[in-house]
Amino acid sequence: MKALLVGDIVGKPGRRILRELLPKIVDRHRIDYTVVNVENAAGGFGITASIAEEFGELPIDCFTSGNHIWDKAEGVRVLDSDPRFLRPANYPDGNPGTGLHVGETAAGIKVATLNLEGRVFMKPLDSPFEVADRVLEELDERVRVVLVDFHAEATSEKQALGFYLDGRVSVVVGTHTHVPTADERVLPQGTAFQTDLGMTGPYESIIGMRIDKVLRRFKLHSPGAFEVAKRDVKLAAVIVDIDESDGTARGIERLLLSHEGS
């Protein structure tokens, strides 16, 4: 089977290119299962109920997120209303939503998606390593295909989790830093890996935001609202070829696509 994992959707430009290109990618590459990170979909911070409905019209099977999923109250409510929308599993019990979703392809292949968040330079959450161990131990053994979105800041932490889960999951991809890395590969025990998918959004920017707004913050150290940039919009993703009989990856292909015709 083929899985498509799409990097962080940033604001309206990211949503627009996702609508334009996703159906074509799914059709052209015969994608069986699609996962999209949506934590920056609403103006770069969180998600809204209307945007969740908008995404529901697209061929997407599961939605991952990260630390910004909490930024809009109505988006947080989506976590409890639709099990396909995930928050990182290593947030404490009592939070809305869940960090694991088990879906199914059109051919009946069960696919688990696990969302985790890093701790280095981020919040002091439960260990993503220990939470991953617990989730995998409790997962139905009939689920062979497991996709992991690790929303983390440090490249070292992302790579550490990739090797830690090598051979136990099908894919580990990093999100959060919005800069695509060129290290896609299949690890020795059969897990596909990329340190960061990059963002689906405007690349003439500083990680998706207007350059002038971010430069002002760096230069003056005074508060000021960021604003999503608009130019050089690209979709970042990977396609992973997975042996559904044992969950190992046969290959991984990195995508960074512009608007067609632009």
Q: What is the pLDDT of residues 166-223, one digit of tens each?
A: 999 999 999 999 999 999 999 999 999 999 999 999 999 999 999 999 999 999 999 8
Mind telling me the catalytic residues?
Answer: 68
* Strand-pair partners of 202: 233
Domain assignment of residue 262, yes or no:
no
Q: What is the pLDDT of residue 122?
A: 97
Domain assignment of residue 261, yes or no:
no
- Evaluated on CA atoms 204, 207, 210, 211, the torsion sign reads negative
Domain assignment of residue 102, yes or no:
yes
Three-state SS string across 38-100, please?
CCCCCCCCCCCHHHHHHHHCCCCCEEECCHHHHCCHHHHHHHHHCCCECCCCCCCCCCCCCCE
Domain assignment of residue 260, yes or no:
no
The enclosing domain of 172 has a CATH number of 3.60.21.10
Q: What single DSSP character describes residue 233?
A: E
Residue 261 has pLDDT above 50, yes or no: no
Query: How many domains is the chain partitioned into structurally?
Result: 1
Domain assignment of residue 170, yes or no:
yes
% helix, strand, coil for the chain, step of 5: 25, 30, 45
Q: What is the pLDDT of residue 223?
A: 87
Give the residue numbers spanning the domain of 197: 2-253
User: Which of 77, 150, 164 has the alpha carbon at shortest distance from 114?
Assistant: 150
Mean pLDDT (the chain, rounded)? 96
Retrieve residue 183's tokens: 């290290």
Q: What is the pLDDT of residues 114-141, one digit of tens each?
A: 999 999 999 999 999 999 999 999 999 9
pTM: 0.96
Domain assignment of residue 158, yes or no:
yes
Q: What is the pLDDT of residue 259?
A: 81
